[in-house]
Structure 1
Amino acid sequence: MAQMIRWMRAFLRLGTGISFLVLIVAVTVQVVSRSFVGGSPVWTEELTRFALLYLAGFGTGMALFTGDLVNVDLFSEGLPGRGPWVLRLVSAALVLVFCVLTIGPALRFTQIGAMQTSPAMGLRMDWVHGSVLLLLTMLALAAALRIIGMVTGATDGRPENLIGEIE
């Protein structure tokens, strides 16, 4: 289980990094072109938006692992006994249920994009709409791995990077 979580984190970090790199390149081309050429290529605007969508798609699942999603730790971690563990488990289960319920509509949304193209790049929009499907799938997988890890005892469900903790 721990190995699977490590692979998932590595995949999400790689996807997030590539998305961020594409975003950096597109914005750099925009800034340099506007500063020295007089205008930037039209495709940079679209590519920037698409990179942001994929950044969110990969980054949201990663944020569940790292603790960068919104948490109510002040309340939950202050509970006695197994209360915090139970709340972390219920929270992960609710995230999983929500994602599973919305993956079907996201798939339909993605399929509709096959009939459309982006105006500047001519990219089929199912590649763009797929970022929503990616986000829900990665978040569902991260939540499922957290649940399995908690139930099997491989993890206590706490995020990796709790602010203020001493290592």
Structure 2
Amino acid sequence: MKAAERIIQAIVVLARIGAGLAFLLLIIAVLVQVVGRTTGNSPVWSEELTRFALLYLVAFGAGLSLRTGDMVNVDVISENLPGKLPWILRLISAAATAGLALYLLPHAWRFTAIGQMQSSPALGLKMSYVHFTVFLFLALLALFAVLRVIAMLTGAEDGKPEKALDAPEI
């Protein structure tokens, strides 16, 4: 395995770990809500924590979804075009995704910085930790899109999404 492949695999593993931890936190927060509502004293912070965990889940999962093809694709027409047109459209799509995400990153960072002056009502958490999910979402989406563009231009892949590990063939 080449060094570049190891780096990409490390990024994928870190994103999966982040998504897994966010999902675990989401499960715990929802469980606390359900048990609390059954007993009549649901803690107010559980609702807020659920939303924050969901934001981190989306932030970590977006790039992974781009990689595996789990994002919404409208490729019925494009993949049936003749010759290299499908490849060209996949390249343009990945480049446009990367470009838009990279363009929005500085604005997302400004949004994150605004959160320093605010705190969440129930948890008292600095909102910059919550607002950071927008930056993380865009950064990981840009990273995975750039990796796809590079892989396509070097011939390492054709730009088609990887199949999810456990996805059944349809």
Bigger relative CO (Cα 8 Å, ≥ 6 apart): 1
Structure 1, residues 103-122: CA drift from partner, whole Å, max 9, x if none?
11100000000010000000
1:140 and 2:142 are equivalent in the alignment:
yes
Counterpart secondary structure, 1:133: helix
Q: Is the 1:99–1:137 contact (alpha carbons within 8 Å) kept by the matching residues of 2? A: yes
Distance (whole Å) between structure 1 residues aligned to residue 127 and residue 72 of structure 2: 30
Task: Tell which deviates more after alignment, 157-166 or 117-126.
Answer: 157-166
1:105 corresponds to which residue? 107
TM-score normalised to structure 1 length:
0.94
SS at match of 2:9: helix
Cα displacement string for residues 123-142 of structure 1 (whole angstroms, at most 9, x for unaligned residues): 00000000000000000000
Q: For the Cα contact (< 8 Å) 1:76–1:83, is it kept in 2?
A: yes
Q: Match for 1:65: what amino acid?
A: R
Which among 22, 26, 36 is matched to residue 23 of structure 1? Answer: 26
Change (3 A) 1:80 1:165: farther
For residues 123-138 of structure 1, what are the structure 2 equivalents within 5 Å? Answer: 123-138=125-140
Cα distance in 2, alignment partners of residues 129 and 152 from structure 1:
35
For residues 13-59 of structure 1, the C-alpha deviation after alignment (integer angstroms, 9 at most, x for no partner) is: 11111110000000001001111x21210110110000011011001
Question: Partners of 1:39 and 1:75 in 2: how far apart?
Answer: 53
Hey, what's the Cα distance between the residues in 2 that align with 1:164 and 1:148? 28
Task: Among all aligned residue pairs of Structure 1 and Structure 2, give the percentage whose two residues are the same amino acid.
Answer: 55
The Cα of 1:76 is off from its aligned counterpart by 1.3
The alpha-carbon deviation at position 97 of structure 1 amounts to 0.8
**Distance change in 2, residues 1:89/1:165 (3 Å):** farther
Give the Cα separation in 1 of the matches to 2:118 and 2:104.
22
Consecutive aligned runs of 4 or more in structure 1 exceeding 6 Å deviation? none
Deviation of the 1:5 alpha carbon: 2.4
Amino acid at match of 1:46: E
- Which structure 2 residue ranges, 5 or more long, are not aligned? none
1:160 aligns with 2:159: no
Which residue, 121, 124, 129 being the options, matches 1:122?
124
The letter of the residue matching 2:41 is: G
Post-superposition offset of 1:2: 2.7
- Unaligned segments of structure 1, at least 5 residues: none
Distance in 2 of aligned mates of 1:2 and 1:42: 45
Write the distance in 1 (CA, Å) between the matches of 2:126 and 2:69.
34
Q: Number of matched residues?
A: 165
Question: 1:21, 1:81 → 2: CA distance?
Answer: 45
